[in-house]
Amino acid sequence: MRSPRFALIAILALSPSPAPAQTFAVDDPVLRRIWQEGMERSQIPLLGQTLLDSIGPRLTGSPGMKAGNDWLVAMYTRWGVTARNEPYGTWKGWRRGVSHVDLIAPRVRSLEATMLAWSPGTKRAEGKVVILPDVPDSNALVAWLPQARNAFVAISFPQPTCRPDQSWEAWAQAPAVERMKAQRDTARRAWDERVRRTGYQVRALPKRLEAAGARGILTNLWTGGWGADRVFDARTEKVPTVHLSCEDYGLVFRLAERNQGPVIRMEAEAEFLGEVPVYNTVAEIRALEKPDEYVMLSAHFDSWDGSSGATDNGTGTIVMLEAMRIIRATYPAPKRTIVAGHWSGEEQGLNGSRAFAADHPEMVDGLQALFNQDNGTGRVANLSMQGLVNAGGVWGRWLARLPGELTRNLSVQFPGMASGGGTDNASFVCYGAPAFGLGSLGADYSQYTWHTSRDTFDKLILDDVKHNATLTAMLVYLASEEPERISRERRTLFPVNPQTRAPGSWPACQPAARSSAESRR
């Protein structure tokens, strides 16, 4: 998110942190207890390992997602926190089974392959590999289509190198680096033009090839990092769509391009389960003094299932789960009601949180503050006031009371811009509610873990996740104890949209898709 030119960006560069006992600017016994519970008795490693290794990925509508919902309720119940799985609609149910892909000619190699989400499966099948042809127009594609019958069709751009640019720049001579990049750019443009001439967009091609009798679709979407590929969803309805690693996709593509006879054998188990109920998991510690005012912890629970969903958004999940445990142990009688929302369907358009906000206007109206985390395993490093012009004073008071270990080099945008999407606090910001995102340091998120085949438990920086859970618990406590409601006065000046040249405005609330049929409309 870009800041407007007139936004003030403050950097809290505090002095080096002394021993933990001396980091508190004020003698607040609850903050001390939160520090001790979060930093000295953290459950982050155990929670993370159980969620990511044992339960694993949490694709919306999958048995893994429901198992995760039930695990959250069980953990909260164990800690004495009321929790429920709240239905908000249905989604296409799908169960991933065992899959295996091998190159069997002109030589034998087991390929690194992942069936895409919601892909049909196949019994053991063999077929040659063919590549999307370079045709002059859609009529020529139709004439070619018989060659796709009983074949596996490769439809993605073949990367000329799966060595990251950083490695090229570190080891190759400058002329070689520039030549590689220029050749790659030329090849990429030529491939995009090849797809355009078929008359189909790349997302529509799989169904056309499926209708022509293709045995399966092969894809690749490389991130530009060593061994990391983005893995999303299939567009076929009868035959499997399989993602091959950058290296293995390049291998079978080159073999086919040079008429060297690549043949692959594929086994891919998958089961469609029909429309199944989907849930948000909601936990609550009810207040006595101000029960109808709310402080919320927020993170989406669903993930893509090409990996374990560790940094997107297992880390945000266990931050909020652990923060609620800490609050329960150190601040059991809050002034305002504390609610944790673990949202489903974020990856399909913030559906879970949008549905919750629409279904609970009383919580939106009574919201004192919401804290959302959804961008990886790094330490929280940036905050935005989300366009609320008077929120900075409240945040200033809160941050002044926190230990330097948690706030050092924290960047804060005043007044910032209201989030229009991308993560779940936007589902509440659109109503003008004080819903804040806790932005983390990158930790190679974009290149290596966001929606990739490498988003696994081992990528967690556990100390940073522990830090974030402790920080969140402290913010929840301070927001609960804040004497006055946070002002909802909004900024009225917005920068011009550089694409449309129209003046900016406060984002409008969008309806949730409450079924997979709605999502296709």
> Could you tell me if 439 and 489 lie in one domain?
yes
Query: Which 3 state secondary structure label does DSSP give 410?
Result: strand
pLDDT at residue 15, rounded to an integer = 35
CB < 8 Å & 24+ apart, contacts of 330-334: 330/30, 330/33, 330/34, 330/37, 330/473, 330/477, 331/30, 331/33, 331/34, 331/477, 331/480, 332/285, 333/287, 333/288, 334/285, 334/287, 334/295, 334/477, 334/480
DSSP 419-455: --SSSTTHHHHTTT--EEE-EEP-TTIIIIITTBTT-
Mean pLDDT across 435-449? 97
Q: Are residues 292 and 360 in the same domain?
A: yes
Does residue 520 carry a pLDDT above 80? no
Inside any domain, residue 513? no
Looking at residue 521, its pLDDT comes to: 66
> What range defines the domain where residue 231 resides?
93-274
Q: Specify if 13 maps to a domain.
A: no
Q: Do 195 and 297 share a structural domain?
A: no
Which residues share a beta bridge with 95?
Answer: 271
Summary mean pLDDT of the chain: 94
| Residue 19 predicted with pLDDT over 70 | no
Using the predicted structure, report yes or no on whether residue 440 has a pLDDT greater than 90: yes
- Give the bridge partners for 87, in sequence order: 279
Average pLDDT over residues 411-417: 94
CB 334 within 8 A of CB 480: yes
**How far apart are alpha carbons 221 and 461 in whole angstroms?**
26
Establish if 80 belongs to a structural domain: no
Sign of CA dihedral 438, 442, 445, 446: positive
Task: Give the strand pairing for 410-414 and 435-437.
Answer: unpaired
Q: Classify residue 170 as left (phi > 0), alpha (psi -120 to 50) or beta.
A: alpha
- 223 part of a folded domain: yes
- When divided into structural domains, the chain yields a total of 2
Has residue 82 been placed in a domain?
Answer: no
pLDDT for 26 equals: 55
Is residue 22's pLDDT more than 80?
A: no
Distance of CA 377 to the CA centre of its chain: 12
* 246 shares its domain with 301: no
Domain with residue 194: its CATH number is 3.50.30.30
Instruction: Identify whether residues 349 and 301 lie together within a single domain.
Output: yes
Pair type for strands 241-244 and 216-219: parallel
* Residues 412 and 311 reside in one and the same domain: yes
Boundary (domain end) residue, out of 274, 298, 325: 274
State percent of the chain over pLDDT 70.
95
CA dist 331 → 33, 41, 186, 316, 327 (Å): 9, 16, 60, 21, 5
What pLDDT was estimated at residue 409? 85
Angle at 390 between CA 387 and CA 394, to 5 degrees: 115
For position 503, what pLDDT does the model report?
84
Q: Examine the domain organization and report whether 339 and 224 are in the same domain.
A: no
Tokens of 59: 């694709």
Q: Considering the entire predicted model, what is its pTM?
A: 0.94
Please report how many Cα atoms fall inside a 13 Å half-sphere around the Cα of residue 162, on the Cβ side.
Answer: 17
Q: Does pLDDT of 505 surpass 50?
A: yes
For the segment 237-250, what is each residue's pLDDT rounded down to a tens digit?
999 999 999 999 99
pLDDT at 423 over 80: yes
- Measured CA to CA, the distance from residue 131 to residue 148 in angstroms comes to 9
Question: Looking at the structure, do residues 101 and 174 belong to the same domain, yes or no?
Answer: yes
Q: Which of 231, 254, 274 is the last residue of a domain?
A: 274
Q: Is the pLDDT confidence value at 8 over 50?
A: no
Dig out the tokens for 242 from the structure: 């399989």
Whether residues 392 and 252 share a domain: the answer is no
The more confidently predicted of residues 8 and 123 is 123
Within this chain, do residues 238 and 292 fall inside the same structural domain, yes or no? Answer: no
Q: Residue 27 CB: number of other CB atoms within 10 A?
A: 7
Residue 501, pLDDT score: 84
CATH code: domain of residue 431: 3.40.630.10
CA dihedral 161, 164, 166, 171 (to 10 degrees): -50
CA distance 156 to 222: 10
Distance, CA of 382 to CA of 358 (rounded, Å): 28
Residue that is last in its domain, among 274, 299, 325: 274
Asked whether residue 270 is assigned to any structural domain, the reply reads yes
Contacts of 295 (CB under 8 A, 6+ apart): 334, 336, 337, 338, 339, 368, 369, 370, 476, 479, 480
* 9 — pLDDT class (breaks 50, 70, 90): very low
pLDDT over 70 (residue 13): no
| Percent of the chain with pLDDT strictly greater than 90 | 91
Residue 21 confidence (pLDDT): 44
Q: What is the tens place of the pLDDT at every residue in 214-226?
A: 999 999 999 999 9
The per-residue pLDDT for range 37-89, each reduced to its tens digit, is: 999 999 999 999 999 999 999 999 999 999 999 999 999 999 999 999 999 99
Cα 445 from Cα 260, distance rounded (Å): 38
Is 509 inside any structural domain? no
Let me know whether 123 and 211 are in one domain. Answer: yes
Give the number of C-alpha atoms closer than 13 A to the C-alpha of residue 298, restricted to the C-beta side.
28
Same domain, 376 and 423: yes
pLDDT in tens, 182-201: 999 999 999 999 999 999 99
Q: Are strands 435-437 and 367-372 parallel, antiparallel or unpaired?
A: parallel
Compute the distance between CA of residue 230 and CA of residue 447 in angstroms, rounded to an integer.
9
Query: 86 lies in a domain?
Result: no
What average pLDDT score do residues 292-313 get?
98
